[in-house]
Structure formats: C-alpha cells, structure tokens
Amino acid sequence: MKHGYVKAAALTPGIRVADTVYNTEQIKKGLDEAFAEAAKIIVFPELCITGYTCQDLVFQETLLKGATEGLKEIREYTRGRDALVFVGLPLEKSGKLFNVAAVLQNGKILAFIPKETIPNYGEFYEARYFVAGNAEAENFMFDGEKIPFGTHILFCVDAVDGLQVACEICEDVWAAETPSTSHAMAGATVIVNLSASNETVGKDAYREDLIKSTSARLISGYVYSSAGEGESTQDLVFNGHNIIAENGTILSRARRFENESIYGEIDVQRLRHERRRMNTFLRNKEGYLYLPVHMEKTDTVLTRRYDSMPFVPSDEAKRNHRCDEILSIQSFGLKKRYQHIGCKTAVVGISGGLDSTLALLVTVRTFDMLGLPRENIHSVTMPCFGTTDRTYDNACRLASTLGTTLSEVNIKEAVSLHFRDIGQDSDVHDVTFENSQARERTQVLMDIANRAGGLVIGTGDMSELALGWATYNGDHMSMYGVNAGVPKTLVRHLVKYYADTCGQEELREILLDVLDTPVSPELLPPVDGKISQKTEDLVGPYELHDFFLYYMLRCGFEPSKVYRIARMSFAGKYDNATILKWLKNFYRRFFQQQFKRSCLPDGPKVGSVAVSPRGDLRMPSDACATLWLKEIEGLQAE
C-alpha cells in the first residue's frame, strides 16, 4: 500500500448468546461492510462466534460444534479476499478449552492464537473454563489441516514494508507482562486485540488510556475490538468500545453502546521510522513463527487527517498550556546559563518584529525568575535603510513598557562607510546590501554585550534556521538562542498568549500590533513608509514550511508523502502547484543551508523537532538533495 498505510477495522456485531448460527451471519455482514471499506486488517471481539457470556454452556458439545461450524463458514466467506480477519471462539485442544482468535485469509485458517492471560477475579471466571495458551507455535489438526497454534506467531504482509501483525486477547493487554511487548520486540508493528471488556463507571477512560499508552510504548498500531450489545446482561453490560491507535494517538474510537464499526489507516512507514531512530527499542525474535501473508498492493484511500499546523494545538486550552510550557522551557534554559556564568546583564536587538519580541519577553521572564532588575536588560534598536516607523515605534514602546533599558544605535552611517570601504554601490540592493546591515547589527550587539558584561540573546527561530533565512555571522549568531527550537507558526501564538495573560493593557496593545505586522527583515527601503520586503513572498508561507519540516524531520516522510498529505491539509487554501513550488524550495534550501546550522549557538530544544546539530539533526553540510528533488520532480504530473 502506497506510503506504508494499511486500513484496519474493529467491528462489534450484534449477537445472541450461544446462537452460533445467528452470530456467524452477523459476522459475515460485518465482513461485507469491512470488505466494502477496503479494510485489510479486520478484527472482531473475543469469543464472538458464541458470545463471551455463555458461562458453563462452553462445556457443551453442541455449542463447541456450533462454534467450529460457524468458523468454517466464515473461513469460506473470506475466500477471494486477501484481508487478515481475526475472529474469536472457544476451541478444544488436547482435552482442554482455549479462548482463541482464529486468523483467516482467502478461505484459509492461517493460525489459532490462544489467550495467554486468563482472568479469574472480580466479575471474571475464565479459569473455570479455559487454560492459558502456549507461546511457541505447535501444529493443531483442524478440519483435516495442520494449523499453527500459539501466541508467538507473526503475520508478515508483503504489500507493506515492515507490516507484521500480532494478536493478543483482552486481559493480555491488562497484564503486567503483556504478550504484545514480546510481539513488538519480535518485530510486530500492528497488534490486534479481541476483547470483551465490560462497562463500569470510569472504565472507558482507563481502557482508552491503556490502549493509547500501549501503542506509544510499543511504537505500534493497535486495533482493539470489544464485545457490545447482544451479550448477556445478567451481571454485566458490554458497550462495544472499539479503538484504533497508533504510537500514542487515537485514530478512531467507537461511540459506546452503539456496536459501531470503526476504521483507521495505520502508518506502518512512520512506525518503522520511529523504531529506527530509537536505539533503545530492542529486538528479540527467539521462539517466534513468521508466517508470510500475500496481499495485493493497493492505494489506501486516506480518511485520517493531518493538522495543517502540527506544531500548534488546535484546542485553545491545550494551546495555552503548550505556550506556557514553552515559555518556561526557554526561560529556564536561559536562567541556567546565567547562573552558570554569573552574568547579570543581557543584550537583545529589538526590531519590532515577532522573533525579537519573543526573545525579549523570554529574557524579561528569566530576569524576573533570577531576581535581577529588568533595567539590566539592554534593549537595542538599530534603525537603518529598511526600518519603518511602525516597527521602530513598537520596538521602543515594548522595551520601555517592559521596564528594560532602551538604547538606539542608528547604523546607517556605519553601513554606508562600510559600503565605501568594500566598493559597494548603495543603490544596488543586492544580498551584500542586505547582509551588511545584519552583520553590522550583530557587531553592535556583541560589543555592547562586552562593554556591559552581558550575553547577546539570539532571536532567530527554528523555521528560519531550517530555511537558512539568516545572515551568516549576522542574526545567525548570538551567545544563547532562546528561539532556536521554536517554529515560526508557534512564535506567533507564544506572543499572543503573552499578550492575553500579561495583565497590562498597554503591553497587550503593543504585542497585538506586532502580531499584525508583516514578517520582514526590513533590509530594503520602505515604499511610502510601509514595509516593502515581506519574507513569505520570498521564501514561501511559513505555515507550509513548518508543515514540511515537521513531517520530513519528525516523521521521516519522503517528499511524495509530504506532498500527498499537504494537498489534503491545505485543500482550498493553496493549489497543488503552489504547494509543490514551495515544497521544492524547502528541500533545496534545507540541504543547501546546513552549514549555518552546523555552528549554531546553544539554545533549548522545546519540542519533538529541532534543527540543532547537537539535537535531532546531524547531517553533513555538503549532503546532496538530489534524491529528494528527483522525487519531487516526479510529482509534477500529479
């Protein structure tokens, strides 16, 4: 399946207790629905052919024969279908009863997976009926065929690289030492669970947390199908709480008490990427049987959605919590640096733009934590050819309102003298014209810091560093870069959060106007007093670049996959040609500009993505983007 997606289904048929004929028909109807949805992993609940709540009826020969006849009928119903189907039933083996999952595909029974952990506490009495299953597979004769029987069996699907499916049953996932742990260490990337978990007050939240955390701990997909309406309510109620999770994220959940079928596309490629990068995820294949499973390679239609702003929580409460947390991480990082070197002053170059505003806010917060006076923060504004009245006024008002020491160094004369020294025509507005200003500003800040005995606080953010949108040894350089781990899309929300929570109306007004100002380095002369140089017109929308950065770096997606999900996420906002244009620009710049990231100042990592060579991204400065750009060129016709 293209890009490593496999579609899974968790279904809860409405059953009748001990009526295997009726239940078999309901399971077949569920299969019809799942096949129509193109699901390739289909999971039914525990003991669903008979019903979980049969109690002592499971000892009856009539019920056991009905279960095996139902299984044979379901087996035949899968003929011509390559999906893996997991269905539960009681099965007699060597004179004992086992609670098993039968694994079916294309008219065959591939294996029987027995339940390993048999609960016999509270409302559960399974030890009265069943014995624990064996781990290593052994042959079991069923309907004239030798079928592997055991918990340590993985189903290796050839249609998706790395797709290996394992199975456990209900209580197995609640145990202290779960079978799924062994399965994952043996290579399983998707775990299925046939369950009959009854409903009590608050249990649904615990169950969901359990499945979510299991998928995170095992870096796996997890498909959980639970018994629902139709089971006996003599003592218990079952609600069909089906869940599909992937690496700590719930992809789909059923509405309780509705026997709802759910579907989700599990990204096996991403799971493999996560496991590759985590050297603590160990492998142990001992005692496992690996069964090859053939499936046709089809293009999985995606119903899952990717947030267009992956760095910014869409929920306001979560977003506010995230902002407060990041501001604390930035401030505590800077605080430790000050405590270590015994420094008492800071120097921040302020432009009236977003990044320098955030850096100053973080510095103020740090000094408050240290008990240092805010006057020890030197806010330096350095107007030049491109500075507008709006940004200049905001910079000055911000510094004064926060109680810092404001100073102004107009660098026009110094830059003009420098132009004369190097023979630069001041009417030629090229890269030299722009970068000379940035480097002069950095020189001013460094020298003021030396004189004051302080640190220059860096303002550049992670998105600029990813694109190389920084002047080498200009704004690229500082003594501590507080924004180095913060993407541009999040910078905006951090400043907005500060504005909403500062409790100072004048400060809030200034911050809101900063937010309303176009992002610009202001290195070219303004037109009619307004900013003439808008960053996103030159390098592309930051929301696109942050999207590309997250899914390329954090998830390991190849360009075609990034392009695929970007088209979905930004449908109606950017056309395909625009997305493709900036995607190509992103990869080109990302590879070309690594040399700037290789010598970054220290700065705190605040999220799961960082571009520091000491953090997530270690790559040679002369690495070639040829393979990535070639793949993008192949997308032109799409």
At 543-590, the pLDDT tens digits run 999 999 999 999 999 999 999 999 999 999 999 999 999 999 999 999
Pick from 151, 150, 167, 98: nearest CA to 127 = 98
CA-based angle 47:52:58, to the nearest 5? 85
Distance CA 390, CA 398 (A): 12
Q: What's the pTM value of the predicted model, to 2 decimals?
A: 0.93
Long-range (24+ apart) CB contacts under 8 A made by 77-81 are 77/28, 77/31, 78/31, 78/104, 78/105, 78/106, 78/107, 79/106, 79/107, 80/106, 80/107, 81/31, 81/35, 81/105, 81/106
In this predicted structure, the answer to whether residue 615 has a pLDDT above a threshold of 80 is: no
Catalytic residues: 46, 115, 170
pLDDT of residue 529: 83
Strands 262-267 and 289-293, sheet pairing: unpaired
In this predicted structure, the answer to whether residue 382 has a pLDDT above a threshold of 60 is: yes
pLDDT mean over 53-64: 97
108 is in an annotated binding site: no
The pair of three-digit structure tokens given for residue 276, joined into one six-digit string: 């590759």
CA-based angle 20:33:40, to the nearest 5? 100
356 is in an annotated binding site: yes
Q: What are phi and psi of 617, to 5 degrees?
A: -115, 105
31 and 75 Cβ atoms separated by less than 8 Å: no
221 is in an annotated binding site: no
538 is in an annotated binding site: no
At 512-526, the pLDDT tens digits run 999 999 898 888 898
Number of neighbours of residue 76 by Cβ within 10 angstroms: 12
pLDDT of residue 638: 54
In this predicted structure, the answer to whether residue 637 has a pLDDT above a threshold of 80 is: no
531 is in an annotated binding site: no
pLDDT tier at 612, thresholds 50, 70, 90: confident
* Strand (E) or helix (H) holding 89: strand 84-93
353 is in an annotated binding site: yes
84 and 265 Cβ atoms separated by less than 8 Å: no
471 is in an annotated binding site: yes
Q: Is 299 exposed, middle or buried (0-12, 13-18, 19+ CB in 10 A)?
A: exposed
pLDDT of residue 616: 72
Q: What are phi and psi of 452, to 5 degrees?
A: -90, -5
Residue 421's alpha-carbon distances to 23, 43, 503, in angstroms, are 89, 75, 49
611 and 590 Cβ atoms separated by less than 8 Å: no
pLDDT mean over 118-135: 95
Strands 190-195 and 243-246, sheet pairing: unpaired
351 is in an annotated binding site: yes
Average pLDDT, the chain: 96
Place of tokens 């609670």: 99
Conformation bin of residue 322: beta by default, left when phi > 0, alpha when psi is -120 to 50 = alpha
Distance CA 633, CA 629 (A): 6
The pair of three-digit structure tokens given for residue 447, joined into one six-digit string: 């020298």
572 is in an annotated binding site: no
At 386-423, the pLDDT tens digits run 999 999 999 999 999 999 999 999 999 999 999 999 99
Q: What are phi and psi of 534, to 5 degrees?
A: -105, 120
* Strand (E) or helix (H) holding 142: strand 138-142
* Strand (E) or helix (H) holding 405: strand 405-408
* Domains of the chain by start residue, with CATH: 5-290 (3.60.110.10), 316-634 (3.40.50.620)
pLDDT tier at 155, thresholds 50, 70, 90: very high
Distance CA 335, CA 368 (A): 10
CA dihedral 533, 538, 544, 546 (to 10 degrees): -70
pLDDT tier at 186, thresholds 50, 70, 90: very high
pLDDT tier at 93, thresholds 50, 70, 90: very high
The pair of three-digit structure tokens given for residue 414, joined into one six-digit string: 């110094």
Q: For residue 548, what are the contacts with CB-CB under 8 A and spacing of at least 6?
A: 562, 566, 582, 583, 586, 587
In this predicted structure, the answer to whether residue 355 has a pLDDT above a threshold of 90 is: yes
The pair of three-digit structure tokens given for residue 86, joined into one six-digit string: 């997991």
203 is in an annotated binding site: yes
Distance CA 298, CA 296 (A): 6
121 is in an annotated binding site: yes
Residue 569's alpha-carbon distances to 206, 308, 544, in angstroms, are 31, 5, 10
Per DSSP, which regions of 178-299 are E strands? Answer: 190-195, 221-226, 243-246, 249-253, 262-267, 289-293
- Please give the span between the terminal C-alpha atoms of the chain, in angstroms, as a whole number: 18
Percent residues over pLDDT 70 in the chain: 99
pLDDT of residue 531: 82
In this predicted structure, the answer to whether residue 614 has a pLDDT above a threshold of 80 is: no
Distance CA 539, CA 559 (A): 18
In this predicted structure, the answer to whether residue 241 has a pLDDT above a threshold of 90 is: yes
Q: Which segments of 531-633 does DSSP mark as H helices, in order?
A: 535-539, 542-549, 559-569, 576-592, 594-597, 626-633
pLDDT mean over 281-291: 92
